[in-house]
Amino acid sequence: MRIACLALLALTLVPAVAADDPVVEEQQEYNKGTLRLAAFTLSNIDTTLVARAEGNSLGVFIDLSEDFGLTESETVPRVFFQFRFARRHQLDFDWFSLNRDSTKTLERRIEIGEIVIEPGTTVQLDTHLSFYKLLYTWLFYDGGKVTLGVSAGLNFLDFGLDLHSDPALGEIEPRQQRAEVAAPLPVFGFRLNFAATPKLRLGFAADLLFVDIGDYSGTLQDIYVAFDYRLAKWFGLGAGINSLSLSLKVDNDDVLAEFRHSYRGFLGFVTFYF
């Protein structure tokens, strides 16, 4: 909600700022590229799996944090790279990877694929989640203080888990289950940069996806707001917030499977300009 309010405020200010800016576009200088190295602190991480096989109306709902004890907050490195190869054209790259593991004695019966794990079983879970985003942005307005653009590209999602069970009852053999989701998701977005002062800039980005093709459907909402303070010609510091919500679903007569992932996060970063 806070991110949405910031975005709405930024978009409300754009027409007034742009209208009062008398500078001719062709006379403006711009950075050809920026590299941001960030420490990304994720909170409220929520990853759930839903599955229903044919003939099973209830299915299974698994919350990886609640059922397996995965942490809901982590700090990981994150990289942003932006290359503006012409005044109205740029490429954007974004990457981070999140690895979590836990060991917990299950409190309820869980079914994953053909494996059934009973309460009282000690389970070790290892997960990895990587996001790679590559976008092309067309900057349809560059007025010096305000830059506006629309983006299109791919958000690559790579999620996997390894589940090892060690039953308390010795006569039951330990079991292992592995699952993997890898999907290139087409996304479309909006970009806004506003120079509050010659050294302080506000950046806003929103990337969205909604797809419904046959048995497959998915939604993605990725919102990013950041402040960047330029300490020198080639160097700056900044901070920002990021919120993401993702759902991928397969639904047919044989199976219903859904992967949901969401988080909110804070970024502190250094910026290098060139």
Over residues 70-89, the pLDDT tens digits come to 999 999 999 999 999 998 99
Higher-pLDDT residue of 268, 29? 268
* pLDDT in the model for residue 122: 86
Per-residue pLDDT tens for 28-60?
556 689 999 999 999 999 999 887 655 555 567
* pLDDT in the model for residue 213: 82
Hey, what domains does the chain have and what are their CATH numbers?
64-246 (2.40.160)
3-state DSSP of 159-174: EEEEEEEECCCCCCCC
Q: In the predicted model, what is the mean pLDDT of the chain? A: 83
Higher-pLDDT residue of 116, 43? 43
Strand pairing report for 89-105 and 110-112: unpaired
> What is the distance, to the nearest Å, from the Cα of residue 5 to the centroid of all Cα atoms in its chain?
19
DSSP SS3 for 100: strand
Higher-pLDDT residue of 212, 135? 135
The predicted model gives 230-250 an average pLDDT of 94
**Residue with tokens 């909604």, as numbered in its chain:** 210
Radius of gyration of the chain (CA): 22
Query: Please, are residues 211 and 224 in contact by the beta-carbon 8 Å criterion?
Result: no
* pLDDT in the model for residue 236: 96
Strand pairing report for 122-142 and 89-105: antiparallel
The predicted model gives 229-254 an average pLDDT of 90
Q: Report CA torsion sign: 100, 101, 107, 109.
A: positive
In terms of pTM, does the model score above 0.95?
no
* pLDDT in the model for residue 56: 53
Per-residue pLDDT tens for 172-195?
455 566 667 777 889 999 999 999
Rounded to 5 degrees, φ, ψ at 32 are -75, -20
β-strand partners of 255? 53
Residue 127: both structure tokens together: 């997960």
* pLDDT in the model for residue 59: 63
Per-residue pLDDT tens for 117-158?
788 888 888 999 999 999 999 999 998 899 999 999 999 989
d(CA 148, CA 194): 9
pLDDT bracket for residue 20 (50, 70, 90): very low
Strand pairing report for 122-142 and 146-166: antiparallel
Task: Write down how long the chain is.
Answer: 274
d(CA 132, CA 222): 13
* pLDDT in the model for residue 34: 94
